[in-house]
A = this chain, B = another copy of it.
Amino acid sequence: MSSSQPPAGRESRVTMKQVAALAGVGIKTVSRVLNNEPNVSVKTAERVHDAVRALDYQLDLQAGSLRRIDGRTRTLGLLVGSVDNPFSGAIHRAVEDAAVGRGIAVFASSLDDDPRREESAVRAFLQRRVDGLILTTARRRPDYVTSLGDRGIPAVFVDRRPIDVDLDSVTSDNREAAHRATTHLVARGHRRIALLADRSDLQTADERRQGFLDAVGRAGIPTTETVTVMDLHDANSAEAAVAALLSSDRPPTAIFSAQNLITVGAVHALRAAGAQRSIALIGFDDIPLADLLEPGVTVVAQDPYEIGRVAVEHVFSRLEGYAGPARHTVVPTTLIARGSGEIEPAR
């Protein structure tokens, strides 16, 4: 149970040539068999398979793609917010589900909303010659997109659509969804509403703010009545921000938390202040177990699996020849009323 292992390295790389020798055929015949090409007799194929088993041979896809006419590596690059995040996980799963059936492997990386990480991740993907990319960007105008076009590598942006970039994208309508959430609060009589959002240089955060401002504007609520706190990025900072609001002179009667981690922080702060049944809360993005909290947390939910599913379909359609204009798919959001968003303002 505890003997030592051989050192790591290319011990005894079995090659196609060795398989061919053992099977008594030419190397090209082995290639034909392993790639299911026609014109191989059943007997020969069997001999090849026997040799493959005997030597425990595994085809080298990398070497193959080097010479292959289309240069495909049967590989995709996926860049998401963070692989440790339910929203990203659902996108990832959708991509994998579509890729695995086609024999395509997926490289996954986390963005952390860091433009430098973004650049190095994309470079890492390109240097490994991925066939396609599915990207979340932290930039308004990613500068690497022109190289993608020149290389003919299909890329689809998910979650955030960069400005003036003519590549496919799959997003939610953040502005509309934020508008809907805010209107939901206004309809219950709220005027003193607080918006808590992520870094304002992120497109999604900005759009959500605009949707919020549209809605309060249309309701005729002066901006002196509302509060907006931007640049929140995690649950802790959001909790602190809400706590500060609650202990201010004129605390809000309703909160719109425009991102899932912010919602978590807001719930914590409301609980700590014992205000979870008196101050309304709507979150952007669903959070796990939101339905089991008391009150349940009302959210406008995105559909990350669907976002990933459509994105990977876009990639494959381009790989299969589609060369038309960029498609900008908007995946619908859903307002899920669970209680917290239906609280009315205290008199």
Contact = CB atoms under 8 A, between A and B. Distances in A.
A315 B158 CA distance: 32
Interface string A54-76: 00101111110110001101010
Given A59-B127, A289-B287, A326 B93 contact: no
A288 interface: yes
Interface in A267-321: 267-268, 271, 287-290, 292-294, 305, 318-319, 321
Interface string A239-252: 00000000000000
A150 B2 CA distance: 17
A152 B7 contact: yes
Contact of A108 (B5, B56, B108): B108
B6 A152 contact: yes
A1 B271 CA distance: 47
Contacts of A305: 84
A106 B105 contact: no
A250 to B, nearest CB: 27
A89 B96 contact: no
Contacts of A132: 8
A264 interface: yes
A344 interface: no
A164 B1 contact: yes
A93 B84 contact: yes
Given A8-B318, A86-B86, 13 more contacts: A2-B326, A6-B323, A8-B132, A8-B154, A10-B71, A10-B152, A58-B147, A82-B93, A83-B96, A84-B92, A106-B108, A264-B289, A294-B294
